[in-house]
Amino acid sequence: MSPKTFVVLSILTVVALGAAVLAPGLNQGYQPAAGAGDRVFPKLIDRANDVAAVVIEHAKGRITLIKNDDGWTMNERDGYNARQVRVQRTILGLAQLRFWEPKTRNKEKFDKLELQNLDAKDAKSKVIKLFDEGGVVLVDLIVGKRRPSLPGTTTGGVYIRKPDSDQTWLAAGITDVTEDMKNWLERKILNIGFSRVKNIVIRHPDGETINISKPTGKAEVFKIDNMPPGKKLISPVELGSAGRALNNFQLDDVRKDEIPFDAAITITTDFTTFDGLSIKTMVAKQDGAHWLKIQATGTAGDASIKADAITARTKGWAFKISDYAASNLTMRFKNLVEDAKAGS
């Protein structure tokens, strides 16, 4: 997304959020506390495009998101791409966050709002910081419990405290400070739809090979081309899972491709599409998790362009994937076929 587009999005989002927060207004006769309704970070709306780093700290670690010429990346994952829209929405949410109601100044009650300092025992708070390119702090905020329903708003609220103050507040608005690292990563690796897949070859290190294909893109089922003698397909559903294996294919984690896969435990699967794209996946189980590497090639034209785009995203990386995703790439005959009865 270009800076110009981000500016437009910023304005539109802020207008929408502002309307959502203040739409019903305060009840007549109610006298709000000093500062209630003010933006928590009034200067941020004009400096949203200047944010060069977002840091989220919690009791178990931190997430560091850095902006470069190509967008946002995550330091803790070797500079892998972050979810651009999520980062931008987080910045805009902070820009529109408003003080709503002052709460306790008693430190002994901070834990109930999850607003303790991070070094406190069993702290559940998060700290979010925004920096500009020169390292100047634009935002430094302790974020606590969410308040999903907040009368007078359509956004709900969140408990907050600035680190240099004991005053806690209920703020109106949306603040995303999830500590789940994968939710900040760009998780989608590939998106090869079922109709595009022409054939699949699964190769196990013990020599077992399964050839799967369908005749046209409109065909709804795959067949096993090298069916073992005396066997029949249990159900076409499992083969369909293989054909959908790369549809909206997502990672659970990512690392630089610096640890070689042991050939003795690596399962290779080759996908070929009707438009000439070839995808090779290599899956190995390491430290109790399934890790994946990808290679892509194209015969010519659009297929080559698509292959180059996939290579640009995946070359040099190893991806942790779910057990379910791995199972669709590592099928065995024993799970696909059964003895064929006479006359069947």
Domain shared by 180 and 221, yes or no: no
Domain shared by 177 and 237, yes or no: no
**pLDDT for residue 324 is more than 80:** yes
With residues binned 3-state (H G I as helix, E B as strand, rest as coil), the percentages for the chain, rounded to 5, are 25, 35, 40
pLDDT at 68: 94
196 located within any domain: yes
Model confidence, pTM: 0.85
311 located within any domain: yes
Using one digit for the tens of pLDDT, what is the confidence trace for 70-107? 899 999 999 999 999 999 999 999 999 999 999 999 99
pLDDT at 32: 62
344 located within any domain: no
- The token duo for 99 is 């003080």
Dihedral of the CA atoms 100, 106, 110, 113 (nearest 10)?
-40
**Which residue has better confidence, 24 or 49?**
49
CA separation for the pair 173, 98 (Å, rounded): 7
Average pLDDT, the chain: 90
Question: Closest Cα partner for 319 from 242, 249, 234, 244?
Answer: 249
Domain shared by 312 and 177, yes or no: no
pLDDT category at 20 given cuts 50, 70, 90 is very low
**pLDDT for residue 61 is more than 60:** yes
Question: Closest Cα partner for 36 from 93, 101, 105, 103?
Answer: 101
3-state secondary structure 113-139: HCCCCCCCCCCCCEEEEEEECCCCEEE
Instruction: Write out the residue range of the structural domain in which residue 230 sits.
Output: 188-339
Contact 26, 152 (CB under 8 A): yes
Domain shared by 84 and 113, yes or no: yes
pLDDT at 344: 55
**pLDDT for residue 271 is more than 50:** yes
pLDDT at 154: 77
250 located within any domain: yes
pLDDT category at 319 given cuts 50, 70, 90 is very high
299 located within any domain: yes
Domain shared by 38 and 146, yes or no: yes
pLDDT category at 148 given cuts 50, 70, 90 is confident
The residue among 167, 184, 201 that closes a domain is: 184
Domain shared by 214 and 309, yes or no: yes
Domain shared by 237 and 328, yes or no: yes
Number of domains in the chain: 2
Using one digit for the tens of pLDDT, what is the confidence trace for 182-228? 999 999 999 999 999 999 999 999 999 999 999 999 999 999 999 99
Domain shared by 193 and 219, yes or no: yes
207 located within any domain: yes
pLDDT at 78: 96
Using one digit for the tens of pLDDT, what is the confidence trace for 106-139? 999 999 999 999 999 999 999 999 999 999 999 9
The residue among 169, 184, 199 that closes a domain is: 184
Domain shared by 147 and 218, yes or no: no
Domain shared by 204 and 306, yes or no: yes
The residue among 184, 199, 220 that closes a domain is: 184
pLDDT at 343: 57
